[in-house]
A and B are shown apart, each in its own frame.
Chain A
Amino acid sequence: MARLAALVVLALLALVPLVPMGGMRQYVLHVVIQVFIWSFIGGAWALMGRFGLVSLGHGAFLGLGAYTTTLLWNFYGVSPWLGAVPALLATAVLAFLVAYPCSRFRVVGHYFALVTLAFGEVIRLLLIAERDWTGGSLGLTLKTAGSDASLMAIQFADKRVFYYAALGVWLFGLWVWARLDRSMARAAMEAIGEDETAAASVGIHVTRFKLAITTLSAVLTAAGGILYAQYITYVNPETLAGIGVSLRIVFAVVLGGMYSLLGPTVGTALTIALSEYLRVVFGLKFIGMAETIYGLLLVLFIIFLPSGIYGSLRAALRHARLPARATA
Chain B
Amino acid sequence: MIDPIFLVEAAVNGILLGGVLALLALGLNLIFGVLDIVWIAYVDLVMLCMYAAYFVVQVYGWPVWVGGVAAVVLGLFLGVAVHVLIISPILSSPPINQLLATGGLLFFLQSFATFLWTTDHRTVRLSLPVIEIGGMFLSFARLIAFAISILAMLGLYLLLKHTYIGTAIRAVAQDRDAMALMGANPRRVYLVTSAVGGAMAGVAGALLIIQYSVHPYFGAAFGPLTFMICVLGGLGNMVGAFVASFVMSEIISIGGVTWSTEMGYVVAFALFIVMMFIRPGGILVRRD
| Chain A contacts to B: CB under 8 angstroms | 52, 54, 98, 101-102, 104-107, 109-111, 113-115, 117-119, 121-122, 125-126, 128-129, 243-244, 247, 250-251, 254, 286-292, 294-299, 301-303, 306
- Determine how close the nearest CB of chain A comes to the CB of B203; give it in whole angstroms: 24
Contact of B112 among A107, A126, A288 (CB under 8 A): A288
Interface contact B262-A126, CB-CB below 8 Å: yes
Q: Which residues of B contact A125 (CB under 8 A)?
A: 262-263, 265-266, 269
- Determine how close the nearest CB of chain A comes to the CB of B185; give it in whole angstroms: 23
Q: Which residues of B contact A126 (CB under 8 A)?
A: 262, 266
Interface contact A251-B107, CB-CB below 8 Å: yes
B50 contacts the other chain (Cβ, under 8 Å)? no
Interface contact A295-B115, CB-CB below 8 Å: no
| Chain B contacts to A: CB under 8 angstroms | 38, 86, 89-90, 93, 95-97, 99-101, 103-115, 118, 216, 220, 223-224, 227-228, 231, 235, 260, 262-263, 265-266, 269-270, 272-273, 276-278, 280
Residue of A nearest to B86 (CB): A299
Q: List 8 A-B pairs, minimum CB-CB distance, nearest first.
A: A295-B108, A298-B104, A291-B111, A295-B107, A288-B114, A288-B115, A129-B262, A299-B104
A interface, by DSSP: helix, strand, loop or mixed? helix
Q: Which residues of B contact A118 (CB under 8 A)?
A: 224, 228, 269, 272-273, 276
A selection of 26 A-B contacts at a CB cut-off of 8 Å is: A54-B96, A105-B276, A105-B280, A109-B95, A110-B95, A113-B96, A114-B38, A114-B231, A117-B224, A118-B224, A118-B276, A121-B265, A122-B266, A125-B265, A129-B262, A243-B224, A244-B220, A251-B103, A288-B113, A295-B105, A295-B108, A298-B100, A299-B101, A299-B108, A303-B89, A303-B90
Interface contact B107-A247, CB-CB below 8 Å: yes
Q: How far is the CA of A131 from the CA of B95 in the complex (A)?
A: 38
Q: Which residues of A contact B96 (CB under 8 A)?
A: 52, 54, 109, 113
- Determine how close the nearest CB of chain B comes to the CB of A308; give it in whole angstroms: 11
Q: How far is the CA of A289 from the CA of B113 in the complex (A)?
A: 10
Q: Which residues of A contact B113 (CB under 8 A)?
A: 288
Q: Which residues of B contact A250 (CB under 8 A)?
A: 100, 103
Interface contact A121-B262, CB-CB below 8 Å: no
- Determine how close the nearest CB of chain A comes to the CB of B10; give it in whole angstroms: 18
Contact of A302 among B97, B110, B280 (CB under 8 A): B97
- Determine how close the nearest CB of chain A comes to the CB of B117; give it in whole angstroms: 9
Q: Which residues of B contact A105 (CB under 8 A)?
A: 276-278, 280
Q: Which residues of B contact A303 (CB under 8 A)?
A: 86, 89-90, 101
- Determine how close the nearest CB of chain A comes to the CB of B143; give it in whole angstroms: 29
- Determine how close the nearest CB of chain B comes to the CB of A288; give it in whole angstroms: 3
Known A-B contacts: A54-B96, A251-B103. Give 9 more (CB < 8 A). A110-B38, A111-B276, A122-B270, A126-B262, A292-B112, A295-B108, A298-B107, A301-B104, A302-B100
Q: How far is the CA of A182 from the CA of B263 in the complex (A)?
A: 44
Q: How far is the CA of A77 from the CA of B65 in the complex (A)?
A: 60
Report the tally of A-B residue pairs with Cβ distances under 8 A.
Answer: 138
Contact of A129 among B108, B110, B224, B260 (CB under 8 A): B260
Q: How far is the CA of A107 from the CA of B108 in the complex (A)?
A: 29
Interface contact A289-B86, CB-CB below 8 Å: no
Residue of B nearest to A289 (CB): B115
Q: How far is the CA of A246 from the CA of B275 in the complex (A)?
A: 23
- Determine how close the nearest CB of chain B comes to the CB of A183; give it in whole angstroms: 24
Q: How far is the CA of A301 from the CA of B273 in the complex (A)?
A: 31
- Determine how close the nearest CB of chain A comes to the CB of B44; give it in whole angstroms: 10
Interface contact A287-B224, CB-CB below 8 Å: no
Known contacts A107-B277, A109-B96; A122/B269 CB under 8 A: yes
Q: Which residues of A contact B276 (CB under 8 A)?
A: 105, 107, 111, 114-115, 118
- Determine how close the nearest CB of chain A comes to the CB of B147; give it in whole angstroms: 30
Interface contact B115-A287, CB-CB below 8 Å: yes
- Determine how close the nearest CB of chain A comes to the CB of B287; give it in whole angstroms: 9
Known contacts A288-B112, A296-B108; A129/B86 CB under 8 A: no
Q: Which residues of A contact B99 (CB under 8 A)?
A: 54, 110, 113
Known contacts A114-B228, A244-B220, A302-B97; A291/B110 CB under 8 A: yes
Q: How far is the CA of A20 from the CA of B231 in the complex (A)?
A: 56
Interface contact B100-A129, CB-CB below 8 Å: no
Q: How far is the CA of A52 from the CA of B109 in the complex (A)?
A: 27
Interface contact B269-A254, CB-CB below 8 Å: no
Interface contact A111-B280, CB-CB below 8 Å: yes
Q: How far is the CA of A27 from the CA of B151 in the complex (A)?
A: 57
Q: How far is the CA of A126 from the CA of B101 in the complex (A)?
A: 29
